[in-house]
Amino acid sequence: MTNLGIGLIGYAFMGAAHSQAWRSAPRFFDLPLHPELNVLCGRNADAVQAAATKLGWNGTETDWRKLLGRDDVQLIDVCTPGDSHAEIAIAALEAGKHVLCEKPLANTVAEAEAMTAAAEKASAQGIRSMVGFTYRRVPAIALARKLVAEGKIGTVRHVRAQYLQDWISDPEAPLSWRLDKEKAGSGALGDIGAHIVDLTQFITGDRIAEVSGQLETFVKERPKAAEHSGLSGTASTERGPVTVDDAAVFITKFKSGALGVFEATRFATGRKNAIRIEINGSAGSLAFDFEDMNLLHFYDATEDPETAGFRRILATEPVHPYVAAWWPPGHLLGYEHGFTHQVVDLVTAIADGRDPEPSFADGLQIQRVLAAVEDSSNSRQWQEIPE
């Protein structure tokens, strides 16, 4: 079997999640190409070596540009903060490497446009790119999309989506790159709001046409971090400004005429990683919460009203998307499986010679929605999403 050499840039939370995906995918799924974990890249030589040993990589580099010239790297996986996505992804595509880029695609619409242009040019040469909206690959979510496409809930009228976390609700939680506009582009809006924009559009097969939104930064100054990794860190004695939103709320109109209500916050005390989506259609409804991620709730409005009611579908059966490769029926999946499914879909598309989804163009459209929410919050006006 042909090998697909992987070079992964970044080794914190997302780097670790992607590493396990690259390792697990060929062990559980029959892949058409064999991913080889060849190079882990990070700026600190000792730290990247320690991470490579722990996460199972064959070698390391400290300069991402070196990956572009390596014959044993065919795919670059970008797990860095958003401020370097455009530069790395465009250079990688121009060097003839396939690219998987973490979400959101970029920090600005202009960067996302440049990345999309590079991706479209590379695609003509057989070079593939994908943006990592991983939650699409949760079996219950993939099942929800299938049910909507099959007409099981009829015409979609309402889209209700929340992404709720609380990891910075303590005002003394230290600053991380995720609270720095230069590094992250935006706060809750881009980090987690982007996921629910993608998920609702993915499930409904529809697109957001216009938005009205409001952003808020509740805690404007925090201790600088003495050290920080993933979502936690320790505080130093110095303080610095929070330059992104803590929370974003927005209402939307979809192209079909459906109405959407969205909320993304890192201040929902007690909610750890609650991605809640409810879709109401003319013939039924679907509801999902990532904190109980194996379940999809389905209401069939065509049933006898005497016994009709929301039904819990445990999306853990071999008939459900991705599940057959894992455990016997009823044995649950977790957060990491979505990343593994992402690798499976990407590698399969590369081998089939087709562009995987979500594409950079899909990432650009989501970037435009995020920018429109920000513009709306500043202008206090509805904003249309440009085509």
139, 145, 134: which is closest to 104 by C-alpha? 134
DSSP class of residue 251? E
Asked if 180 touches ligand SOE (CB under 6 A), the answer is no
Residue 365 Cα distances to 230, 253, 356, angstroms: 27, 15, 16
Smallest distance, ligand SOE to C-beta of residue 285, A? 25
* CA angle at 78 for the pair 76 and 79, rounded to the nearest 5°: 140
- Would you say 36 or 263 has its CB closer to ligand SOE? 263
Sketch the per residue contact string, 221 through 240, with ligand SOE: x for CB under 6 A, - otherwise: ----------x---------
Tokens of 192: 């987690």
- Would you say 116 or 165 has its CB closer to ligand SOE? 165
Smallest distance, ligand SOE to C-beta of residue 12, A? 10
Sketch the per residue contact string, 258 through 297, with ligand SOE: x for CB under 6 A, - otherwise: ---------------x------------------------
Smallest distance, ligand SOE to C-beta of residue 326, A? 20
Q: Give the Cα separation of 263 and 175 in Å (integer).
A: 22
Q: Which of residues 1-20 bind ligand SOE (CB under 6 A)?
A: 13
309, 213, 221, 317: which is closest to 265 by C-alpha? 213
Length of the chain: 387
φ and ψ at residue 214, rounded to 5 degrees: -145, 125
Smallest distance, ligand SOE to C-beta of residue 259, A? 26
Smallest distance, ligand SOE to C-beta of residue 201, A? 16
Smallest distance, ligand SOE to C-beta of residue 292, A? 16
3-state secondary structure of 19: helix
Site size for ligand SOE (CB under 6 A): 6
Residue 69 Cα distances to 65, 75, 96, 97, angstroms: 7, 12, 10, 10
Among 106, 159, 192, 279, binds ligand SOE (CB under 6 A): 192
- Would you say 191 or 355 has its CB closer to ligand SOE? 191
Tokens of 377: 């919050």
Asked if 191 touches ligand SOE (CB under 6 A), the answer is yes
Smallest distance, ligand SOE to C-beta of residue 353, A? 29
State the residue number with the nearest CB to ligand SOE. Answer: 191
Alpha helices in 69-153 (DSSP H): 85-94, 109-123, 139-149
User: Cβ atoms within 10 A of the Cβ of 303, count?
Assistant: 12
Among 24, 165, 200, 340, binds ligand SOE (CB under 6 A): 165
- Would you say 194 or 364 has its CB closer to ligand SOE? 194
Q: What is the DSSP string of 329-342?
A: TT----HHHHHHHH
| Residues within the interface to ligand SOE (CB under 6 A) | 13, 165, 191-192, 231, 273
